[in-house]
Amino acid sequence: MTRVNPRIEPDQRRVVSPRGRASPSARSRGALSSLFTLCAVLTACEASQPGELEKTVAPTSARSSSAALEALAESPVSPVPVANAWEPHSAIAAGNGIYLVVWTERSSQTGGADILGVRINALDGTSLDASPLPIATGPVDQTAPAVAFDGNNFLVVWEQNTQYGDHFIHGTRVRASDGAVLDTPFVISHIPDGRYGTYPQNRPAVAFDGTNYLVIWEGVTPRSTIYDYALAIQGTRVRASDGTCIESTRFIIAAPVGTIDLPLGVRARVAYADGNYLVTWAKDGNLLAARVQAQDGQVLDTNPITVSSSGSFPAVASRSGEFLVVWYGGATLRARRLNSSSGALLDSTDIVVGQNPVGLPEVTFDGQDYRFIWESVRGGMGLKYVASQMSTQGTVTAGAEVELSNLSMNTALERGAIAAAAPGLVLTTYYEADPVTSMTRTMRRVLKEPQACESQAPTLTLTGAAELTLECGSGPYNDPGAQAVDGCGSSLVVRGYNTGHDSSGPGPNPSLEGTYQMSYAAWGANGLTATASRTVIVDDRTAPTLTLLGSATMTHTCGSQWVDPGVTATDACYGNLTPQVWKTGEVNGWAVGTYTVTYTVTDSGGNSATPVTRTVNVVNCPW
């Protein structure tokens, strides 16, 4: 068999299929029904039936699978007919025990390509929405969606056509709890007009850093003059709290990255870890990357990092301490790890993680292993959609590869999608041909034998006491946080609310007396939730401080009014209390004698300062 390497059609921007397989451009858009299959992989992937895939990757450090796999019957993702679907794009993000799957579908009413979505229960694969969520609809084409999760909402981004044919990057937030679309779609790719109008912007990707998102894309940008332009990787940060762009215009991450007419294999992708984003792309057969600092959007690698000198179509995932870049390497699927702080390569050579790829790979980290998906050739001309995994030590598990689907020669693949809700709990989307409708969107899950602990609710434990008393004015409040584990003992992410480190509230004010409430929540992959709360009491129990101005004992010459130099009063909680100082005792400047003046002050918390006194001797009266 002769295998044809992927390349990009300039007009369609799609992968050209192997010999004997119809290209998407060979079918009219009206006749193309682009649909996808969903498959939740809930274990270390391992083929378990006769005729399993060839084990083409030799392991260097084998790990045993936790259980055999069972492929369940397929069922429709959406009951809505999709005969006019178009554009094989899909994306997934996971959070709080659910996935949001988004895709592009041609509308039979408006003729435009819409962005639709559905929330999927991470444990059982059931849809949480009776019908697809209309995320972005209308008469223009809205394609190539990407999505990320911030703890409360999903940010969906896409490229949107204009009436003149140019594309801009748009976005909107979708609330995880009920699927509500929170924003009117807003423009993200702010870019100046060019000599002949606007510059097209395409193929967005997005990641979340704990506070904000970074949205990147590839697009045409002006250089020295309006007649001089090039393809560049561009980006901007978006606030998770309100969906607004932080930068007034996009910043350039890398330019130029290829010719405008044929940006072969660019396909920029992004992930976040440890204060930095990693943006990766292909240029002239090289795999390149650059770090972007999350705090201020600064590009740290103005001279890009060379990940590999051979490859295209990269994907990237991350975990604490590292990024993993995966790419199409011709006859093999390859990977390499980078230090998340310095960008240094952690592997001396490329890691082969798969064989015979013919489609674009995708990768995620599930909290335990890296998981890959790609389209591959198996058994002569047989096309398969396959998945595999790699340990955090950079080794491929024995028997890791599993066949997810047999693909028809008519299947059109842009790029599959994958996301993980927990270790071994992975959802992937891809498009599969159907003999009747040409393409069919279906759901299929691959399960491991469930453990009893997986049905149990997670446990959340506060770090520190459930009630804390903070001395008013003692300094900034640092929330001790909480920890959570699922029923099987695996760690879960804990979300804090009103802790001072999240977007839901400012947290306790250590300079203002009062009672403040904080809450914490963690979601298990089974959708069950654990919550806890903490009360912080800011109490003023420290008395103010009185300080005399001038001497404690003074001598005054008789015959004039004595002038009191006064005192200062300060309080850690309430600040300057000098105006509230109470003075007792009088000094008669016209009569010889010894006089005593006493100063006192009490703050609003009822704390009284130690009184201070001053003695004044009036002497030498002329009469």
State the virtual CA torsion across 267, 268, 271, 276 in degrees, nearest 10. Answer: 170
Q: Name the more confident of 228 and 493.
A: 493
Contact 365, 69 (CB under 8 A): no
61: burial class by Cβ within 10 Å (0-12, 13-18, 19+)?
A: exposed
Residue 413's pLDDT band (cuts 50, 70, 90): low
pLDDT the model gives residue 40: 42
Contact 148, 206 (CB under 8 A): yes
3-state SS record for 267-336? CCEEEEECCEEEEEEEECCEEEEEEEECCCCCECCCCCEEEECCCEEEEEEEECCEEEEEEECCCEEEEE
Q: What is the distance between the alpha carbons of residues 385 and 397, in angstroms, rounded to a whole number? A: 18
pLDDT tens for 260-297 read 554 545 789 999 999 999 999 998 888 999 999 999 99
Bridge partners (DSSP) of residue 12 are: none
pLDDT tens for 370-404 read 998 888 887 666 778 888 889 999 998 767 787 77
Q: What is the distance between the alpha carbons of residues 559 and 50, in angstroms, rounded to a whole number? A: 116
Q: What is the distance between the alpha carbons of residues 200 and 602, in angstroms, rounded to a whole number? A: 67
Closest CA to 98 of 555, 422, 406: 422
Bridge partners (DSSP) of residue 518 are: 534
Quote the DSSP letter at residue 77: S
Q: What is the distance between the alpha carbons of residues 166 and 185, in angstroms, rounded to a whole number? A: 17
Quote the DSSP letter at residue 453: G
Residue 421's pLDDT band (cuts 50, 70, 90): confident
Quote the DSSP letter at residue 579: G
Locate 25 and state its tokens: 């451009």
Q: Rg of the Cα trace of the chain?
A: 32
Closest CA to 418 of 436, 400, 399, 404: 404
Q: What is the distance between the alpha carbons of residues 483 and 491, in angstroms, rounded to a whole number? A: 8
3-state SS record for 545-561? EEEECCCCEEEEECCCC
Contact 306, 286 (CB under 8 A): yes
Instruction: Kindly report the average pLDDT of the chain as a whole number.
Output: 79
The answer, yes or no, to whether residue 535 has pLDDT greater than 80, is: yes
Q: What are phi and psi of 455, to 5 degrees?
A: -90, -5
The answer, yes or no, to whether residue 448 has pLDDT greater than 70, is: no
pLDDT tens for 152-207 read 999 999 999 876 667 889 999 999 999 999 999 999 987 765 554 567 888 999 99
Closest CA to 600 of 574, 578, 573, 572: 578
What structural domains and CATH numbers belong to the chain?
A: 35-47+62-450 (2.130.10.10), 455-539 (2.60.40.10), 545-619 (2.60.40.10)
Per-residue CA distances from 255 to 91, 258, 279, 343, 512 (Å):
26, 8, 13, 19, 51
pLDDT the model gives residue 266: 76
Segments of 366-464 assigned E as strands: 370-377, 383-390, 402-407, 417-422, 425-430, 432-434, 438-440, 442-443, 446-447, 459-462
Q: In whole angstroms, what separates CA 57 from the centre of its chain?
A: 32
Please list, residue by residue across 168-206, b when 16 or more beta carbons sit within 10 angstroms of its beta carbon and e when fewer do: bbbbbbbebeebebebebeebbebeebeeebbbbbbbbb
Provide CB contacts within 8 A for 497, sequence distance 6+: 504, 505, 518, 519, 520, 521
pLDDT tens for 555-610 read 999 999 999 999 999 998 889 999 999 999 999 999 999 999 999 999 988 899 99
Closest CA to 233 of 194, 173, 274, 277: 277
Residue 433's pLDDT band (cuts 50, 70, 90): low
Q: Residue with structure tokens 């006192």?
A: 600
Q: Residue with structure tokens 């309100």?
A: 242
Contact 389, 45 (CB under 8 A): yes
Bridge partners (DSSP) of residue 594 are: 617
